Structure 1
Amino acid sequence: MNTPELRHLKMAWIAAKESGDTRAQMRLLQEHPTQQDELIDFIAGYQATGGNEPIDPQVSLLPLTERALNSALERVFDMDPAFATLTELRKSRSLSKIETAKGLRLSVDVWNKFESGAIELVSLSQRQLERLAQFFQVSIEQFSGSLTESQPAITLNRRQTREAARHAQQGPHKQSFSDAIARSTMSKEDQQFWLE
């Protein structure tokens, strides 16, 4: 478990390592026997990932290397990697759209609007954002970023006129969360849960 105290110890160890103070590094291990195992795992992870070796920003990471890096960061720092879209976030939790909608007390049509980027971020209250982020066990900032990156899918029908095709390329219209709920098939109880 990555407690605030353990995170503080990790940062203190990194500071001692960067300054070359081996006594401070050893002292941290000796003075905190209850966190010693976690701190040793962290040190091993730090060394395995290259420690403070300079990183060349011009070198691109292979997908396999990127997944390994995210996995190492998650294990060492107990962090979730960033998710570009809400679809990626949902899939990372091994949830179907139906399971997600049911867990959030939303209808599938409203959740589809979230994933397609049709819900305006500014229409969500702090409390609504907290509920959504808490369901996925991410921060409000992570959820908001994933919603912002979720873009409406553009579909074209070959039988459409040019005018209709231009209109379709604009994608679905953005709408407020409360408007999406009002137009949904959600029960009155679930609507009140989200709009209270």
Structure 2
Amino acid sequence: MKKPSSILIIFVIVIIAFFAVWKVGTPNLISKNKENTTEKVSKKVKKESKKTEKKETSESESSSTETSSSVKSEVSNVSSSESTSSVQPSVKYPVLQKYAGKTYYAVNRESAEVPDMFPTSFTITSDTASITIDGKQELIRDVSSDSGFIALTGEMGHTMGTGLSFEFRPLGVNDDAVEVINQGKYLAYSTTISE
């Protein structure tokens, strides 16, 4: 009788030990399965993110190429429009453009035969639509360039109806010095005031 009871006790101990091992091993197995699953998922995620990064990189490179080419084309359009606008569309008489916006002062006006024939200064406005002579602004009606002289005509607005007639020519290669002619008399003008 002792043998079957001892076998039964051993059998119960084995079963208890099996359950104990199973209880202790199951969380490990579960955590290992979780780790394996997590590793597999993370590897898949890494692969997918690498694929996505490659796609995004190639898309961003192509878009940056497109952007840079569009920027280059815009810059070239702007620069070409700037180069074509060197003769400004707001300039009425292009022949006057290099003299526009500068004030020319008479050089040795008092030494002229008749000083009153020549203004002390004149300025052609930057849009070349008018000229200011000794502080009085006149609209330019017409401009002609003949035999090296540039002739301006306009309305003085006097009650007598006297028209403006003003002629000058450049002195040398520099636009900062010109010579004004009036009734066959000449006087030099410069953008710098003579002392």
Q: What TM-score do the two structures reach when normalised by structure 2?
A: 0.22
Counting strand residues as a fraction of each chain, which structure ranks higher?
2
Counting helix residues as a fraction of each chain, which structure ranks higher?
1
